[in-house]
């Protein structure tokens, strides 16, 4: 059951729902591009409590979910090498590659270690100079400064046994790819608050201009998400398309300049494959040439590995908002968090896993009670 | 890993030229890099992502957010305090069992 009093300020939540209901006059589709927002929306039943006119589409906002299969296979190949300590954020360990996942490599004797911070991986490299230590550097703009600092410090400390497998992706090119797609139904976007806390909001104004769609920078807590949705709806109903910041307690226009400077120093923009979506031009970061010695793909010669996706998995359509997770035939059958076919079922921030955890039953059988 | 958690700076030190802090997240203390927030001080609240302070936040907002993390039980996840659970999952991944997740 979904109760309004599950919000940490039920009165404010009720007011926001009421305002949205009062404002909306016709159907709108709003996409969130942040896995944390997706999780909040499904967990709190926000999509079910909203008026029927509002459809929420869960975009490619989970870095674990969009990391391409070929990159997972590279990680698996490197992690299985003797002498390698492979360090990763915990979310990546159950992401299925073509034939196995990192947990399987670990159970087969690979030295795979979960780290909280990329600096933990640098420390492991310092403590194990006779071993090759590789860090799986995934993430959006929020995570890139941390991963860049790991490379910077490894260079500064003269570590020759440390390298990174880089699979960084960027939000604005993904929004552009979705908004510019001929099949897109998206009328407005919630931009990811923490991405913007690093990058600022300045990158999103040009997207608003180019596509004529409102973008509201939004936090990930339930009330933040509601407020972001309310602001998008107000703009749409008034025929406006503007950039707004609904997360001003954390996000400003410029973002975190020292973090951006470090990212600029270590990373260069590159084309990236997005799992389930395909290649998006200039949608990621790779190591700059001067840091090429820290590139695990070159060090372990896995640059050419590529792999086709599962034929059953429809995560690409989920990530682009073309179907809901429970419309996939494999959902809850062949595919579950224990036996995921695609990455959207793996990470708790993935749309399929969120649906599975909170809404495995048919949506119509979920009781909605407003108190 | 995608979320960011607010915490309170308990102490600050230099590690070979990099400013590091001990940050308390609702009592769980972690070592955090302050390189990207050079002006914060002991007692300030900051939003932390994968071991890095990325922005300042006022105390009231920080406490509200921590309360939410408590309620949804996500604090340990975000701070990677769940490695024991992860190891268990590893065993289950190798030998999947049909236990249903909690609803």
In order of start, what are the domains of chain A with their CATH numbers?
Answer: 2-61+171-245 (3.40.50.11750), 64-170+255-299 (3.40.50.11740)
What distance separates the 2 farthest-apart alpha carbons in chain B?
51
Inter-chain residue contact A90 with B79, CB threshold 8 Å: no
**Crossing angle between the packed helical segments A144-156 and A257-266, to the nearest 10 degrees:** 60
Give the residue-averaged pLDDT of A288-310.
88
Average pLDDT, chain A: 91
In DSSP terms, B30 is beta-bridged to B23
Poorest-pLDDT segment among A250-254, A285-289, A345-349: A345-349
Nearest-by-CA chain B residue for A261: B36
What's the predicted TM-score (pTM) here?
0.89
Tens-digit pLDDT profile for residues A118-176:
999 999 999 999 999 999 999 999 999 999 999 999 999 999 999 999 999 999 999 99
CA–CA min distance A237, chain B (Å): 30
Inter-chain residue contact B58 with A249, CB threshold 8 Å: yes
Inter-chain residue contact B47 with A8, CB threshold 8 Å: no
Inter-chain residue contact A262 with B94, CB threshold 8 Å: no
Nearest-by-CA chain B residue for A258: B36
Tokens of A179: 């908004």
Nearest-by-CA chain B residue for A332: B100
| Phi, psi at A77, each rounded to 5° | -65, -40
Tens-digit pLDDT profile for residues A2-45:
567 677 788 899 999 999 999 999 999 999 999 889 989 998 99
Inter-chain residue contact A103 with B94, CB threshold 8 Å: yes
Inter-chain residue contact A107 with B77, CB threshold 8 Å: no
- Cβ-based neighbours of A276, under 8 Å, separated by 6 or more: A60, A65, A66, A309, A313, A315, A316, A317, A318, A319, A320, A342, A343, A344
- Chain A residues in contact with B54 by the CB 8 A cut-off are 142, 145, 194, 197-198, 256, 259
Determine how β-strand A267-274 pairs with β-strand A278-287. antiparallel
Inter-chain residue contact B49 with A142, CB threshold 8 Å: yes
Nearest-by-CA chain B residue for A254: B55
- Cβ-based neighbours of A175, under 8 Å, separated by 6 or more: A33, A59, A189, A191, A204, A207, A215
Contact A354, A43 (CB under 8 A): yes
Q: Is A243 helix (H, G, I), strand (E, B) or coil?
A: strand
Residues 25-84 of A with CB under 8 A from B: 34-36, 43, 61-64
In the prediction, which pLDDT does B44 show?
97
Give the residue-averaged pLDDT of A203-227.
96
Inter-chain residue contact A63 with B47, CB threshold 8 Å: no
Cα–Cα nearest to A20, from A251, A225, A322, A247: A225
Inter-chain residue contact A91 with B1, CB threshold 8 Å: yes
**Nearest-CB residue to B93 (from A101, A119, A139):** A101
CA–CA min distance B55, chain A (Å): 7
**Is residue A246 scored above 50 in pLDDT?**
yes
Cα–Cα nearest to A45, from A3, A11, A5, A8: A3
Tokens of A340: 């995921």
Straight-line distance from the first to the last Cα atom of chain A, in angstroms, rounded to the nearest whole number: 12
Contact A251, A216 (CB under 8 A): no
In the prediction, which pLDDT does A364 show?
38
In the prediction, which pLDDT does B97 show?
38
Distance, in Å, from the CA atom of A335 to the CA atom of A347, rounded to the nearest integer, reads 13
Which residue ranges form the domains of chain B, and what is each CATH number? 5-94 (2.30.30.140)
Nearest-by-CA chain B residue for A140: B2
């Amino acid at each position: 059951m979904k109760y309004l009093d599950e919000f940490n300020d039920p009165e404010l939540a009720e007011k926001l729902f009421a305002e949205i209901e009062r404002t909306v006059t016709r159907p709108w589709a709003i996409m969130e591009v942040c896995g944390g927002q997706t999780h909040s929306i499904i967990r709190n039943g926000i999509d079910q409590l909203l008026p029927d006119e509002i459809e929420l589409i869960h975009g490619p906002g989970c870095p674990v979910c969009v990391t391409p299969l070929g990159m997972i296979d590279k990680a698996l190949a490197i992690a299985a090498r003797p002498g390698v300590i492979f360090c990763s954020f915990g979310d990546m360990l159950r992401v299925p590659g073509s034939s196995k996942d990192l947990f399987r490599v670990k159970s087969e004797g690979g030295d795979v270690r979960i780290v909280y911070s990329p600096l933990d991986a640098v420390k492991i490299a310092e403590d194990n100079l006779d071993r090759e230590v590789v860090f799986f550097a995934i993430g959006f703009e929020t995570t890139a400064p941390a991963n860049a600092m790991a490379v910077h410090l490894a260079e500064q400390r003269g570590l020759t046994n440390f390298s990174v497998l880089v699979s960084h992706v960027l939000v604005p090119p993904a929004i552009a790819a979705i908004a510019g797609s001929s099949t897109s139904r998206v009328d407005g976007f919630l931009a990811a608050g923490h991405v913007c806390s690093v990058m600022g909001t300045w990158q999103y104004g040009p997207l608003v201009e180019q596509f004529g769609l409102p973008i509201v920078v939004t936090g990930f807590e339930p009330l933040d998400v509601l407020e972001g949705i309310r602001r998008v709806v107000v703009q749409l109903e008034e025929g406006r398309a503007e950039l707004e910041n609904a997360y001003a307690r954390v996000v400003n226009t410029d973002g975190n300049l020292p973090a951006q400077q470090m990212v600029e120093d270590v990373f260069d923009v590159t084309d990236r494959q997005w799992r389930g979506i395909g290649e998006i031009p200039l949608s990621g970061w790779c190591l700059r040439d001067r840091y090429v010695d820290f590139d695990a793909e070159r060090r372990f010669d896995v640059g050419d590995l590529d792999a086709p996706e599962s034929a059953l998995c429809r995560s690409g359509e989920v990530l682009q908002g073309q179907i809901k997770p429970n419309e996939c035939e494999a959902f809850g059958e062949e595919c579950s968090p224990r036996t995921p076919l695609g990455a959207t079922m793996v990470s708790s921030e993935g749309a399929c896993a969120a649906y599975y955890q909170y809404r495995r039953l048919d949506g119509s059988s979920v009781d909605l009670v407003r108190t | 890993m995608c979320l960011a958690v607010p915490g309170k700076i308990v102490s600050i030190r230099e590690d070979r030229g990099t400013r590091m802090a001990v940050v308390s997240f609702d009592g769980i203390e972690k070592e955090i890099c302050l390189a990207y927030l050079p002006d914060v001080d002991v007692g300030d609240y900051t939003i932390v992502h994968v071991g890095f302070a990325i922005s300042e936040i006022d105390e009231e907002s920080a406490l509200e957010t921590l309360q939410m993390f408590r309620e949804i039980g996500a604090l340990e996840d975000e701070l990677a305090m769940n490695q024991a659970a992860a190891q268990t999952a590893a065993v289950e991944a190798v030998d999947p069992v049909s236990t249903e997740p909690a609803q």
